[in-house]
Amino acid sequence: MSEPIFVTQSLVPDAAEYTAHIMRILSSRRLTNIGDYAVTLENELRASLGIPHFLVCANGTLSLQLALHAAKLQGREVITTPFSYVASVSALLWEGCTPVFGDIDEETLCLDPHGLEDLYTEKTAGILPVHIYGNACDVEGIAAFAEAAGLATVYDAAQTFGCIYNDRSLLSYGDFATVSFHATKVFHTVEGGGVACNTDEAHKELQLLRAFGHVGDEHYTLGINAKLTEPHAAMGLCLLHRVADNIAGRKKISRMYDALFPARGLRKPRLREGLEYNYAYYPVIFGNFPAATRWCWSIWATSCRNWGARARPWKPT
Ligand SMILES: *Cc1c(COP(=O)(O)O)cnc(C)c1O
């Protein structure tokens, strides 16, 4: 039997290091509510990202929802891309927004700012572009349009941890940018995420929204629970110092694929110039569509047959 090859595997900390943190958390009996570990992780992330207004959250999806909320986009029309993970759109729908889909750039696979003009109406309130696969959107083009039209920009930067664009963290672009620290991402806290913003006011608002809208006994606004717990923050502190190595290892493997994969018919998205990539993914584009479609179709048909044979209606026992 040969060894299985995994498409993705979560990075795990040194067991003794993580256990020591857990023992300390247990004896402190402070398990959540933005305790020492969450505060320390938040400070370390602010320093390493160079973003003073950065908050950790329970996951990337809630981070996106808090950002949409703080950007005052609830219930409004937001231009976005369909080419993303489902959470980009589900966050919009959960906030009662109407997503308006723009096309993507054929080369970078990110929202094409040239299409924004045609989609814009008087109802448009914001833009939610996605730095897909960690590639950088045309942040200059999007910012120019957003500024001229008076639109708020919330980037779904879930996949970008470690990406630097023009000497700044990719998370520092836009009015808000959100990141995911899910176990499958380059850096993670098992479940977790964060929001970056630019102003003290937005920072305070996000802090309130993250913790039910109250501070002590004073209730200020309608909030939700999006706090990162202490055991999750401890995971982040164990893994943060390994991110650079992780990215360097991914880069090496990615270069190996570049050298080994047959170039014919396989295209890679063009990374934006000025981007230091995190090698989170290795996306490929099939040039030969009929062949690629046939291949996908046959896999799909096979898996449907297998599913049909195994599927049973689910009943609670
Ligand atoms: C991972 C991901 C999310 C969701 O993040 P969670 O932390 O899993 O909630 C949202 N958008 C994109 C593009 C992602 O890759």
Q: What is the pLDDT of residues 105-135, one digit of tens each?
A: 999 999 999 999 999 999 999 999 999 999 9
Q: Which atom of ligand 1 is nearest to the CA of 132?
A: 13
Residues of the chain with pLDDT under 50: 292, 295-313
H or E element, residue 39: helix 36-49
pLDDT at 317: 54
User: Residue 101 — φ and ψ, nearest 5°?
Assistant: -85, 130
205-258 tens-digit pLDDT? 999 999 999 999 999 999 999 999 999 999 999 999 999 999 999 999 999 988
Residues with beta carbon inside 6 Å of ligand 1?
59-61, 84-85, 87-88, 130, 156, 158-159, 180, 182, 193
The residue type of 162 is: G
Q: Which of 224, 133, 142 is nearest to 185 (CA)?
A: 133
- The predicted pLDDT at position 42 comes to 98
Q: What pLDDT sits at residue 261?
A: 77
Instruction: Say how many C-beta atoms besides its own lie within 10 A of residue 198's C-beta.
Output: 16
User: How confident is the model at residue 303, as a pLDDT?
Assistant: 41
Distance CA 237, CA 230 (A): 10
Nearest-atom number in ligand 1 for the CA of 87 is 10
182 CA to middle of ligand 1, Å?
Answer: 7
pLDDT at 311: 44
Please tell me the distance between residue 133's alpha carbon and the centre of ligand 1 in angstroms: 11
What number does the ligand 1 atom closest to the CA of 88 have? 11
Tell me the pTM. Answer: 0.91
pLDDT value at residue 24: 98
- Quote the mean pLDDT of the chain: 91
